Homo-oligomer: A and B are copies of this chain.
Amino acid sequence: MAKRILIIGGGAAGIGAAGAARGTDPTAEITVYTEYQDAAYSPCGIPYVHGGEIPDFERLFLGTKQQYADQGIDIRYETAVEAIDVRAKTVTVAGRPVPYDSLVVATGWDYGRPDVPGNDLSGIYYMKNIREAMEWDKTLDGVRSAVVLEAGPLGMEMVTALCHRGIETHLVDPSPWALSMATDPDIAKPVQDSWLEMGATLHFNTKLEAILGDAAGKVRAVATSDGEIACDLLVVCTHKEPQTRLGAAAGLTTGSAGGFIVDETMATSAPHVWAAGDCAEIPHGVSNVPVQGLSGSHAYAQGKVAGVNAAGGKRAYQPVYVPWGMVAGKWMIGGVSFSETLATAIGIPYVMGEAQGISRARYFPDMKPVKVKLLAEPGSLRLIGAQMVGGEGIKERADFLAMAVRTGITLRDLATMENVYSPPIGALNEPIAMAAQNALSRLGS
């Protein structure tokens, strides 16, 4: 009899799981439940449609509904799963039990909702669903002034996008600088300076105290510890919280980061149940501390691992080192694992080196600055973190440095790395090597 594989969630993790399960077991019955009208679009593209860099929402869809049907993946749209019974091996849909042999929980995340008066007004935008984003995009045409709440990755993209759109933009963030969980202030500064050049107003160290409405129940301002800011729109970009209600009610164990605890096969605490994506937590490779709320490529890769195993195959997921990167303001910014701020906060000792390099030969048109900052374990000099801000090549360097952290590459290795030198694509001195050399020179070695 064909294996029955159920997947709860139609985001990157759920769709990754479905495809991988199909590849592993061509005869399995694979069903995906999603509460939304669509599956497999790229929510990560939404800020760029709002900002005008991507011309329309249609191109954010990854595949047509027919393509999934053709692969034998049965996606049930606008269908909520109401309960999971891990002993009976069923889920409840429309009040009726549906049996499974393997279950993948990929229920994703939700925003931390601001617990302040006025949080039920209209004009508060939680960016997630593409159909809603299409409606909000029309609204943006009439918005004169917007507040973005918190400069996490999405908030940084939205400040940038709203400035591009010509909207008066305020950032309100209780932290002292942008993306402070991942960056040091010297790395965030060029981005913040460029937001100011683009006309944004930045309110750091500032708490949201209330959302103020007009007579029609629509946002007219926010009250903050830095005073009142008039706005037509509040974009909430708070931390992604794992959506675990359904699984937790069924007894799946959650951990210190709030996500489902999984082993290296993405298996949960319940037999025949896997979890993947933003509802799960994964150990960080350096600190071994569980982390969650990673990127869409993490969700997709975890989904694939869960899908292979759910279908009877065997694949392991690795601890994460979390390369990250984005365009923010007029810069690219990125890194991996620990900043000085984070390492200090959790008591991890480090040595540091930094360098201001360039992306092409100094005389080549469109040469861009590339600043690199490296953190390493004292003694072994194994890399434990990196941050970069610059004009090009940040993503590829972050990927490299994440593998460097994972495989134990040291500052000595990086200080003597070879690099491509070709005027239109690479400078004589690679900024990563320069930063490693700087660290060794600070150590007097």
B363 adjacent to A429 (CB under 8 Å): no
A419 adjacent to B394 (CB under 8 Å): no
Band of interface residues on A: 35 or more
A402 with B418, Cβ < 8 A, contacts A60-B363, A364-B54, A365-B54 known:
yes
A413 adjacent to B421 (CB under 8 Å): no
| Copies, count | 2
B406 adjacent to A403 (CB under 8 Å): no
A135 to chain B, nearest CB (A): 20
Q: Which residues of B contact A298 (CB under 8 A)?
A: 418
Complexed CA–CA distance, A297 and B406 (Å): 27
B325 adjacent to A426 (CB under 8 Å): yes
Complexed CA–CA distance, A50 and B145 (Å): 50
Query: What sequence of 0s and 1s flags, for each residue 403-445 of chain A, a beta carbon within 8 Å of any chain B beta carbon?
Result: 1101101000110111111111110111010000000000000
From B12, B321, B395, B413, A403 is in contact (CB under 8 Å) with B413
Q: Which residues of B contact A385 (CB under 8 A)?
A: none
Q: Which residues of B contact A399 (CB under 8 A)?
A: 400, 417-420, 426, 430, 432
A116 to chain B, nearest CB (A): 30
B418 adjacent to A322 (CB under 8 Å): yes
A326 adjacent to B428 (CB under 8 Å): no
A422 to chain B, nearest CB (A): 5
B430 adjacent to A361 (CB under 8 Å): no
A327 within 8 A of B: yes
Complexed CA–CA distance, A364 and B54 (Å): 6
B42 adjacent to A425 (CB under 8 Å): no
Complexed CA–CA distance, A204 and B295 (Å): 47
